[in-house]
Amino acid sequence: MTTTRHQAKIETRSLTVSFDEKRVLTPIDVSIAAHGVTALIGPSGCGKSTFLRALNRMHDTVERAEVSGEVLLDGEDIYHRDVDPVAVRRRVGMVFQRPNPLPGSIFDNVAFGLRVAGHTAPQAIPERVERALRRAALWSEVKDRLRAPASALSGGQQQRLCIARAIAIEPDVLLMDEPCSALDPIATEHVEALITELKARYTVVLVTHSLAQARRVSDHTAFFYLGALVEFGPSERVLLAPDDERTRSYVRGAIG
Amino acid sequence: MKSARNVAFGALAGSALLLLLLALALVLGSVVVAGIPALARGSTDGLAAATVGTALVTAIMTLLGVPFAVITAVYLAEYAPECSTTTRWVRAAVRALAGVPSIVFGLFGLGFFVLFVGRGMDRILYPGLGAVFGRPCVLWSGATLAVLTLPVVIVTTEEALRRVPRELREAALALGATKLETTFVVVLPAARVGVLTGVVLAIGRGAGEVAPILFTGAANFVPDLPTDVRAMFMHLGFHLYALSTQAADVSRSRPAAQATALLLLLVTLALNGTAIALRHRASRE
Ligand SMILES: Nc1ncnc2c1ncn2[C@@H]1O[C@H](COP(=O)(O)OP(=O)(O)O)[C@@H](O)[C@H]1O
Ligand SMILES: [Mg+2]
């Protein structure tokens, strides 16, 4: 894992995804640098989630989905036939649009990934759980009720729990698919602050339907339109002075 | 016109309900009214053995059948490719199994479990010792009942598994769980209420069945409580059948039959009640 050479954390080469033979992504070539937040924006249905889920081999679990092309993680293709998708998902974590706590306690949710990976000694798990909850800025709110069911938390807390759960297994990359779309403004603010914190350690790829959010938290922005990557670059430029006509109309609010 | 039709339908539905309640009251009432004094006299031999035997064979049925059914349901819901020929055949087989008359299960149990599996085990485990497993016994009766109740557990479990939201599976998979871990650690526990519903239905069907145990293990009279799964056993349903058809003087054995009927009702209720209570507790957690 050498990121010292100036190598992209994630690089896609002619990446496409089809559902039932129907292509929903035009071949995508993009290179995402380590650390920092990359925002994916675009009208709904343009393929943001589909692209994101290709980065941790989530499409493998859907029978009708087919991925072609390459996704290089630290220079190695995660779709190579010797690569185990489970190992990929341990390095590339994911947070979903709607908080989806597992049945069971707050503690069990954060410990889940550690337990299934089986590398952590049982007596070391509480410490790892605490660290993950602290990093997710949730520790002070839940430290007295770790055994309470996760479903008893508020929506915003549940989403931070999902983030804690994802970072407990110490991935390199964190994929987030509209993590704030089901949250109220205050919870959204918490999660955004957290994303800004996390980018020091992780490479974050964030799908968002909010241009304001992209402006607040992202370093790079990719604009998707009808399954194609139209424009990619530093967020200020893409969001404020885009080159492409389609990007311009989208950020002006004309399409989407 | 419309309201007249409504009234007619209302009256029809009302009388159907009344008829049903009447039948229920008659059946339950006569069993309870006649059974209580007969049971109180306590003069009937073999009732304790038959009660324990009924509970035992139902327990064996559950222990053997439910794991098998759950694994089949997991295969169908989680692993089987949706439109493959194998899946279609497995589904058709489950449906066909549900429609087979129970006496046929009895013959199947005799042929398969007693003669094929049991004798086969004897040949390997106890060569030259005669029949140990290779004869009718409570184990094979339980196994036969397990096969009889497979379809209902498979179908309810599969439906429960399919109702587990995709987000939950994705949560586990995204955390680096394998498909197997996701299925058994997350999805199956989330579907446990459905699984237990299947168990309730299976016990409801299996506990009172006589035909499947006729040739596979039920005995006319073994007054000692069952202690060995390789021995024949008494069963309340079979006992009732024997008392009312095979006694030399049917009027003399009537009180015993009434006591047996009441006990059979109570045991089935108790077994069902336990399963329902378990299910209720699981659904509240
Ligand atoms: N599981 C699926 N099966 C079939 N089509 C899908 C599936 N998921 C997404 N699609 C299709 O792929 C396209 C892109 O969807 P998506 O990636 O969810 O868009 P976005 O996240 O940008 O709103 C849509 O046309 C959608 O209908
Ligand atoms: Mg989406």
Strand A228-234 to A173-177 pairing: unpaired
Give residue limits of the domains in chain A: 8-100+174-252
Which CATH number applies to A8-100+174-252: 3.10.20.520, 2.60.120.260, 3.40.50.300, 3.40.50.10860?
3.40.50.300
The torsion of the CA quartet A120, A122, A126, A128, rounded to 10 degrees, works out to 0
Taking the Cβ of residue A53 and every Cβ of chain B, the question of whether any pair is shorter than 8 Å is answered with no
CB A77 within 8 A of CB A129: no
CATH code of the region B45-284: 1.10.3720.10
Decide if pLDDT at B30 tops 90: no
Subunit contact A112:B82, Cβ cutoff 8 A:
no
| Chain B, nearest residue to A113 by Cα | B175
H helices of B178-249, in order, are 179-181, 188-190, 192-206, 236-246
B256-267 average pLDDT score: 89
C-beta A165 within 6 A of ligand 1:
no
User: Is the separation of the CB atoms in A167 and A173 below 8 Å?
Assistant: no
Q: How far apart are CA A248 and CA B262, in angstroms?
A: 82
Q: Quote the percentage of chain B above a pLDDT of 70.
A: 98
Q: Which residues have beta carbons under 5 A from ligand 2 (an ion)?
A: A 49
A116: Cβ below 6 Å to ligand 1? no
ipTM tops the 0.90 cut: yes
What residue spans define the domains of chain B? 1-40, 45-284
A190-210 residue pLDDT tens: 899 999 999 999 999 999 999
For β-strands A28-32 and A36-41, DSSP reports them as: unpaired
Query: CB contact, 8 Å: B171 with chain A?
Result: yes
pLDDT of B235-255, one tens digit each?
999 999 988 888 777 778 888
**pLDDT range class, residue A6, cuts 50, 70, 90:** low
A47 lines ligand 1 (CB under 6 A): yes
pLDDT tens per residue, range A90-119: 999 999 999 999 999 999 999 999 999 988
Please report, as a single letter, which amino acid is at residue A42. G
Q: A116 and B178 in contact by Cβ < 8 A?
A: yes
pLDDT, averaged across chain B: 90
CB contact under 8 A, B189 and A103: yes
Rounded mean pLDDT of B108-119?
96
Q: What mean pLDDT do residues A147-170 have?
A: 96
Query: Chain B: residue nearest A98 by CA?
Result: B167
- Is some CB atom of chain A closer than 8 A to the CB atom of B180? no
Within 8 A by CB and 6+ apart from B273, the residues are none
